[in-house]
Amino acid sequence: MNHRIVFLERDSIRGEFRRPGFPHDYDEYPLSAAEDVPARVREASIVITNKVVLRGELLATLPQLKMVACAATGTDNVDLAWCREHGIVVSNIRGYAANTVPEHAIAMAMALRRSLLAYRRDVLAGKWRRSSNFCFFDHPIRDLHGATLGVVGRGTLGEGVARLGEAFGMRVLWAERKGAAKVSPGRTAFEDVLRASDVISLHCPLNAETRGLIGEAELRLMKPDAILINTARGGLVDEAALVRALREGWIGGAGFDVLSKEPPREGNPLLELDLPNFILTPHVAWASAGAMQALLDQLTGNLEAFARGEPRNRVA
């Protein structure tokens, strides 16, 4: 079979994309606006998407479609239920960010625990020049060593963060699912993790169960000097509640690499925060050069495995 492959967002990933070694026609687009997608994928048998949304209403209009290849780990942009019902293979990318995302999460935690942004702001404002001492101690400095790290989500990325945390001498708590009737061995009740942790790092998928995982009630359970890190999905956290928590001092700080809607063309309350205890980066925790190349190499492998009749990394 000669497949027609359409890559909807080639510019969303940097690196060399090795074309698969089976007969195919290939079209790629730097980016794809929602209104452009139907025409671009009309004759595709394989669609590659990173964040472009593919719902059942659109998929039902594609008679040639056999596979959706997600160029990411997250698949909340694809109608998995529809694909399962209609025999469409959906594969994702796994393990490629095992180092880069944990490093980003720990870097944020370290910067916030040591008040690096606050001190940098003061230095730029001339405070060091005016100091009567050789240094000044206006902001708290807390080590990671000896602190408690709460990890929500025990996949590759959660394991990576835990591994780095332990290397710094942190005590790691694995959170049980929120609302679970019982606590599994090796895990700690979700609410107890919130109460006990100095740093909480989120590494779970966004779905009906996890949307709004952290809201006002959960933020108020946290220690007043605790740090919340989110390199997973923006929808896991009630952003308006987080803004209040930071402005009113319910928690010590937060580092976010994700927002509920990306890009935030219509604004977002977190974009307005200019606080020394808040870090916001533009969904780049995954995007080291090595990780992006590993992603593209795995994407090619997923396509070739599907063409051999041995699909791998299936989520549908």
How is residue 220 written in tokens? 């108020």
Whose tokens are 């989520």? That residue is: 315
How is residue 214 written in tokens? 């952290």
- Active-site option among 283, 304, 312, 314: 283
pTM of the model: 0.91
Bridge partners of 173, per DSSP, are 150
Q: Is 233 a catalytic residue?
A: yes
What gap in Å lies between CA 181 and CA 169, rounded to an integer? 31
DSSP assignment of 178-243 equals TT-SSPPTT-B-HHHHHHH-SEEEE----STTTTT-B-HHHHHHS-TT-EEEE-S-GGGB-HHHHH
Delineate the domains of the chain, giving CATH numbers in brackets: 3-96+290-307 (3.40.50.720), 100-280 (3.40.50.720)
Q: Is 218 a catalytic residue?
A: no
How is residue 4 written in tokens? 């027609």
What gap in Å lies between CA 110 and CA 88, rounded to an integer? 43
How is residue 256 written in tokens? 């976010």
- Active-site option among 9, 218, 233, 239: 233
Q: According to the model, what pLDDT value does residue 234 have?
A: 96
What gap in Å lies between CA 259 and CA 242, rounded to an integer? 12
- Active-site option among 85, 166, 209, 262: 262
Q: Beginning with the edge strand found earlier in the chain, give each strand of the sheet holding 24-28 in spatial order.
A: 24-28, 3-7, 46-49, 67-70, 89-91
Bridge partners of 230, per DSSP, are 202, 256
| Total count of residues recorded for the chain | 316
Q: According to the model, what pLDDT value does residue 1 have?
A: 83
Amino acid at 298: Q
Q: Is 14 a catalytic residue?
A: no
Name the stretches of the chain with pLDDT < 70: none
Residue range 277-286, pLDDT digits in tens: 999 999 999 9
If you ran DSSP here, which 8-state letter would residue 271 be given? G
The torsion angles phi and psi of 152, rounded to 5 degrees, stand at -110, 105
Residue range 157-189, pLDDT digits in tens: 999 999 999 999 999 999 999 999 999 999 999
Contacts of 68 (CB under 8 A, 6+ apart): 46, 47, 49, 54, 59, 78, 83, 88, 89, 90, 91, 316
